[in-house]
Amino acid sequence: MPPKYIVVLGLLMSGLGKGAVTSSIMKMLDFYDLKVLPVKFDGYLNYDCGTMNPYRHGEVFVLDDKSEVDMDFGLYERFLNKNLTGDLSITGGKLFSKLINKERKGGFLGEDVQIIPHLTNEIIDSIESISKKKNPDVLVIEVGGTVGDIENSYFIEAMRQFATNHDVTFVCLTYIPELAVVGEQKTKPSQIGFRQLQQAGITPSIVVCRSKGPIEEKTKQKIALFSNIHKDRVIDDSDDYTIYNLPIRFISQKFDTLLLRDLGIEGRRINSQKLNEWKSITSKIISPKKEVRIGIVGKYMLLKDSYASLREALIHSGAFNNVRVNLEWIESEELESSGHEARLNGLNGIIVPGGFGKRGTEGMINAIRYARENSLPFLGLCLGMQLMAVEYARNACGLKGANSSEMDPRAKHKVIDIIEWQRGIRTKGGTMRLGAQKCILAKGTNSRSAYSKRIIEERHRHRYEFNNRYRRTMEQNGLVIAGTHPKDNLVEFIEWKTGFGIGTQAHPELKSRLERPAPIFSRLIAEAVRSSAGK
């Protein structure tokens, strides 16, 4: 059958969870064994997310194919349990650069190049070429930003045009505020939003309502009236304990049946085994048996979205171990003064995640030392692994002044140094060591037993690496080199000999899924449970 399309749009404001709705729609269709893929439109003029600040924009997500994409791709992959590709991310930057290149080559000779039809055609062509190449049953297109923004207006216009000769269903997400004093759900902002949507020439077939409490009957009726749909097509997306429960809540409101009907594929049977597996894991998130406290020591703590994949990997590994993982976000700069031990006291495990630049790194090193000396389960991810090596060099190998050359280019012992082939690189976009990289895990190590595999593949995003000139000294002083790249001789995993401490140059959190948690995270949580029981 020719592919069907669902376009997800957001009204009023960002941050309503459009990515979670898009992912849940895909998961519902996946329960019906349909081949579903996402496409994300982002209006910004950056080519990709690689040069953005995670503190402002949230985490930069990396795919196997080296693409640096919007963090929504993390959500899509975690729900779909599928590895996606960078061509599914269509940004304003990519579109304009393609269009202008074409114009320079004479692709539009004699014409004046315009948003409509040239840019909108470019968008439509991209969608058609994805459909042709990947052959999905359903393509779910999420339009970033909100209806009414200048940035995404050409995407919305392209979808209006596209819908005139393809099977397209529009789903729109809106927000229902509730005024505490009056205690009433207000639909006026949504009414204004629907008017904007109508001006763009689009009629939604389903409206999803974000709200604090459940959507009341009266509210549903009003929303239905103003958006020209039946009341049963107004779906409740009120606050819940976990977003992973959303597909199940949607199904209980027959969102799946409505979608299948709109797409003209009703009558399919749901794969109850898949559905039940999802339900059973989700129930472990909602009511687990035990609890542990894990400290995350990083520097972008105010915006938790900077570490979205890490947070989710801990939810996955918590569910896997049937424990609630209580996260404590600790700003590393706060650990730079004396007395920092008190802040770490009582934790059952510590993670130092990835990051860039010097700020806060001495606090991270203090946290790593604390974990090592107090036998606290520890995980170092990318920068966390590099600082684990620095800490070990300084405090266990007597290499005073050891550091990463990123933090101190004149350090006496550069135990972490720039990757050789990175030295000549001057441009910043897409030039780090990126994407899926192979690693061989050494026999008898915790890393190998966590993965139960000799050769693994995890995603990377870095410019610095373990300096092999210090490898022998560090090994002689007890550091375990647990994993190396099969060809490049790069150290990818290090471990402490005693206790549980693993550092990896990779970002295993990027490949963690609810149905397939990242192995070293599951292991960390199991170790944290064990250490909490011993206290």
Query: Which residue minimizes CB distance to ligand GLN?
Result: 354
Respond yes or no: is residue 230 known to be catalytic. Answer: no
Q: Which is nearer to ligand GLN, 78 or 462 (CB)?
A: 462
CB nearer to ligand GLN: pick between 313 and 382: 382
Tell me how far, at minimum, the Cβ of 273 lies from ligand GLN, in Å: 38
Nearer to ligand GLN, 45 or 425 (CB): 425
Closest CB to ligand GLN among residues 117, 357? 357
Task: Report the residue number, 32 or 466, with the smaller CB distance to ligand GLN.
Answer: 466
If DSSP codes are grouped into helix, strand and coil, which group holds residue 414? strand
Non-local (6+) Cβ contacts of 40 within 8 A are 69, 70, 72, 73, 76, 88, 89, 90, 141, 142, 144
Task: From the candidates 312, 458, 509, 527, give the one annotated as an active-site residue.
Answer: 509
Backbone dihedral region for residue 74 (phi beyond 0: left; psi -120 to 50: alpha; all else: beta): alpha
Tokens of 88: 């599914």
Which long-range CB contacts under 8 A does 401-405 form with residues at least 24 apart? 404/361, 404/464, 405/464
Contact 352, 504 (CB under 8 A): no
The 8-class DSSP code of residue 273 comes to H
**Rounded to a whole number, what is the distance in angstroms from the first to the last CA of the chain?**
60
Which positions lie near ligand GLN, rule CB under 6 A?
Answer: 354-356, 382-383, 406, 461-464
Minimum distance of ligand GLN from residue 354's CB (angstroms): 3
Smallest gap from residue 490 Cβ to ligand GLN (A) = 11
**Which residue out of 340, 460, 462, 507 is catalytically annotated?**
507
Catalytic residue among 49, 382, 397, 439: 382
C-alpha distances out from residue 40 to 152, 185, 197, 250, Å: 11, 31, 19, 21
Asked, as a colleague might, if the bond just before 2 is cis with ω within 30 of 0, I would say no
**Is 382 in the active site?**
yes
What burial class does residue 200 get, using C-beta atoms within 10 Å of its C-beta: 0-12 exposed, 13-18 middle, 19+ buried? middle
Least Å from the CB of residue 9 to ligand GLN: 33
User: Is 509 considered catalytic here?
Assistant: yes
Question: In the bound complex, what is the minimum distance in angstroms from residue 355's beta carbon to ligand GLN?
Answer: 5
- Shorter beta-carbon distance to ligand GLN: residue 16 or 439: 439
Q: State the Cα–Cα distance between residues 314 and 361, nearest whole angstrom.
A: 23
- Distance CA(42)–CA(97), nearest Å, equals 14
Closest CB 189 distance from ligand GLN, rounded Å: 39
Structure tokens, 30: 């996946």
Task: Name the residues annotated as catalytic.
Answer: 382, 507, 509
